């Protein structure tokens, strides 16, 4: 991960290969240089102010401009547009990511970013963004020859106002960046590298790095004893040991009811016997993004030592067609006793989550949030712009929506009316695992609700938002970090 540093040094004293300066768009007028950057402009003999006066750079969203500087001191300056003022935390996050990606293209290796005039919220966004933009996953690549290689961005120094609010914002931004990189790394890893045991290792890593964390792990036999026939039917097609991993963070009062985060962890989803078509199937390595989000959030929460109790639960396995795989029409029994007719083996996420939601009850949760790449249908409903939010408690759904909005992971509610329940009634069992094409994301949520026993609950469908199949400009193709930000922001809201 990008190493992040805070500095209160005077700009004139800074030595850097790249100084990043964030600017708002002018209102039909030249962009105004942030006050703090004046001395830099002087040191560069007015190169910055001339650039702005010529309107070479207008401060628009995602806009960048490089001004070459001196041999020492500030070697280059990078102007990055924030769009129109006032700029949100999300706008700074986006600009931070743009800056880091531009720095990577230049091959600078390190950068300094000016945030002396930014609010605490904006600093949080900036740091998360720099880390998002600088993040890479190169474990499986042969490095290019030294002479052709551009240095990746490995260090970023944030120039901050010297006060407690900006110090706290820096710490928060760094912790969020660490959690997002945990989630993105798990997402990017292919299915033969990120296996259920990788979640076990990740959980142990969190416990080793931070205090007040306890990990427990269940395998096939343990789940059998708990009667988790729903989760296990998905895992019966693979020889790989399925894992139910629990990460308990106890930062709050003893005995205080925890927030429980639950994640779908399909290390790969072929569809099983109801096999998916070959084109684009490789993207199903991301079907563990809900579980990756839970792990990432636990990393951030434990790193910040938030004064709250949080339990993360992930269910990890791989959905495979095989001689032992579950078949369409099979009936299985979940750990709450309900029977399920498996109509389509590709609707496996809800089968895994069913037993996890029953399991969550034993922690006496204050609230349970689950995240899952649950349905392709959510992309038809909301595209790639919003997380699908579901739950019977409108105020709680709105609390999650607010958390997502603040951190730049927008979500939007869809209805969970009783009328839709007709679609998941079975002729032979208590439930069927698919409700047909209409309202596919809603019937999936209603299926989950059958396993929610009395506690407040919201389901997040992140199938359209946890990863991107295209380069978004500010973010590369691949894992986005969603829903780490939403989880963390929700928990932080409750911890206040």
Active-site choice (350, 401, 432, 492): 350
User: Which lies closer to Mn ion via its Cβ, residue 269 or residue 461?
Assistant: 269
Residue 150 CA, distance from chain mean position: 27
As a whole number of angstroms, the distance between CA 73 and CA 52 comes to 21
Check residue 349 for interaction with Zn ion (CB under 5 A): yes
Q: Would you count residue 376 as binding ligand BES (CB under 6 A)?
A: yes
* Cα-based distances in Å from 382 to 163, 295, 311, 357, 368: 41, 25, 29, 25, 23
CB of 33 to ligand BES, least distance (A): 44
First to last CA, the chain: 28
In this complex, which beta carbon is closest to Mn ion, that of residue 90 or of residue 372?
372
Which listed residue (276, 338, 361, 494) is catalytic? 276
- Please give the Cα distance from 366 to 485 (Å, whole number): 20
Q: Catalytic: 350?
A: yes
- Under a CB-based contact definition with an 8 Å cutoff, are residues 150 and 109 in contact? no
Instruction: Specify the residue, 63 or 461, whose C-beta has the smaller distance to Zn ion.
Output: 461
Show contacts with ligand BES in window 215-274 (CB under 6 A).
269
Residues forming a β-bridge with 78 = 20, 66
Distances (CA, A) of 91 to 40, 97, 130, 400, 480: 24, 10, 12, 20, 16
Residue 463: contacted member of Zn ion, ligand BES, Mn ion, none (CB under 5 to 8 Å, by partner type): ligand BES
Q: Establish whether 264 is a catalytic residue.
A: no
Instruction: Give yes or no for residue 269 binding Mn ion (CB under 5 A).
Output: yes
The DSSP code for 220 is H
What is the three-class DSSP state of 215?
Answer: strand
By CB under 5 A, tell whether 370 contacts Zn ion. Answer: no
**DSSP-H helix ranges across 370-470:** 377-382, 394-407, 440-449
User: What mask of x and - would describe binding to Mn ion in positions 326 to 365, judged by CB under 5 A?
Assistant: --------------------x-x-----------------
| Binding partner of residue 18 among Zn ion, ligand BES, Mn ion, none, CB cut-off 5 to 8 Å per kind | none
Residue 119 to residue 93: CA distance in whole angstroms: 13
Task: Identify the bridge partners of residue 155 per DSSP, sorted by sequence position.
Answer: 3, 110
Among 124, 248, 269, 299, binds Zn ion (CB under 5 A): 269
Choosing among Mn ion, Zn ion, ligand BES, none, which partner's interface includes residue 414 (Cβ < 5 to 8 Å by kind)?
none
With CB under 5 A as the rule, give the number of residues binding Mn ion.
Answer: 3
Q: In what order do the strands lie in the sheet with 64-68?
A: 3-7, 151-160, 108-115, 19-23, 76-81, 64-68
Residue 55: phi and psi, rounded to 5, are 65, 35
Q: Which of residues 447-466 bind ligand BES (CB under 6 A)?
A: 463
Q: Which residue is nearest to Zn ion (CB)?
A: 269
CB of 217 to ligand BES, least distance (A): 24
CA nearest neighbour of 97 among 137, 65, 129: 129
Of 348 and 450, CB closest to Mn ion: 348
Residues 323-362 that bind ligand BES (CB under 6 A): 344, 346-349
Strands (E), 175-275: 213-218, 243-250, 259-269
Tokens of 342: 């498996």
Binding of residue 321 to ligand BES (CB under 6 A):
no
Q: Which residues bind Mn ion (CB under 5 A)?
A: 269, 346, 348
Q: Which residues bind Zn ion (CB under 5 A)?
A: 266, 269, 287, 349
Q: Which residues bind ligand BES (CB under 6 A)?
A: 269, 287, 344, 346-349, 373, 375-377, 434, 440, 463
């Amino acid at each position: 991960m990008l190493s992040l540093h805070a500095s209160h040094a005077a700009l004139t004293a800074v030595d850097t290969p790249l100084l990043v300066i964030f600017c708002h768009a002018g209102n039909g007028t030249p962009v105004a240089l942030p006050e703090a950057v004046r001395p830099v402009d002087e040191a560069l003999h007015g190169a910055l102010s001339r650039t702005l006066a010529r309107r070479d750079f207008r401060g628009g969203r995602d806009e960048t401009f490089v001004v070459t500087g001196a041999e020492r001191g500030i070697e280059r300056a990078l102007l990055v547009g924030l769009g129109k003022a006032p700029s949100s935390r999300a706008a700074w996050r986006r600009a931070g990511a743009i800056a880091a990606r531009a720095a990577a293209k230049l091959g600078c290796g390190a950068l300094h970013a000016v945030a002396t005039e930014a609010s605490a919220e904006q600093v949080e966004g900036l740091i998360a963004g720099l880390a998002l933009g600088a993040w890479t996953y190169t474990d499986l690549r042969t490095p290019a020859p030294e002479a052709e290689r551009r240095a990746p961005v490995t260090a970023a120094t944030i120039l901050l106002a010297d006060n407690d609010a900006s110090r706290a914002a820096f710490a928060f931004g760094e912790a969020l960046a660490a959690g997002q990189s945990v989630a993105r790394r798990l997402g990017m890893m292919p299915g033969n590298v990120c296996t259920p045991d990788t979640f076990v290792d990740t959980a142990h890593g969190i416990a080793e790095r931070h205090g007040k964390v306890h990990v427990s792990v269940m395998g096939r036999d343990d789940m059998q004893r708990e009667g988790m026939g729903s989760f296990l039917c998905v895992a019966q097609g693979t020889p790989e040991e399925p894992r139910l991993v629990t990460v308990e963070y106890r930062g709050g009062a003893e005995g205080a009811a925890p927030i429980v985060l639950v994640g779908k962890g399909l290390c790969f989803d072929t569809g099983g016997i109801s096999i998916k078509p070959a084109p684009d199937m490789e993207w199903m390595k991301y079907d563990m993004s809900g579980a990756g989000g839970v792990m990432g959030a636990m990393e951030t929460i434990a790193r910040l030592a938030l004064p709250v109790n949080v339990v993360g639960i992930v269910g990890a396995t791989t959905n495979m067609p095989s001689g032992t795989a579950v078949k369409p029409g099979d009936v299985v029994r979940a750990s709450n006793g309900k029977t399920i007719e498996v109509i389509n083996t590709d609707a496996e996420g809800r089968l895994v989550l069913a037993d996890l939601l029953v399991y969550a009850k034993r922690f006496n949760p204050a609230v349970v949030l689950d995240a899952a790449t649950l349905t392709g249908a959510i992309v038809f409903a909301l595209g790639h712009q919003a997380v699908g939010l579901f739950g019977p408690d409108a105020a709680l759904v709105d609390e999650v929506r607010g958390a997502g909005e603040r951190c730049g992971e927008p979500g939007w509610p869809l209805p969970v009316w009783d009328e839709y329940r007709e679609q998941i009634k079975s002729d032979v069992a208590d439930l069927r695992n698919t409700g047909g094409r209409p309202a596919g994301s809603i019937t999936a949520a209603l299926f989950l609700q059958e396993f929610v026993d009395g506690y407040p609950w919201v389901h997040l469908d992140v199938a359209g938002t946890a990863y991107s199949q295209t380069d978004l400009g500010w973010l590369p193709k691949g894992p986005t970090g969603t829903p780490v930000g939403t989880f963390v922001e929700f928990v932080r809201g409750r911890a206040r």
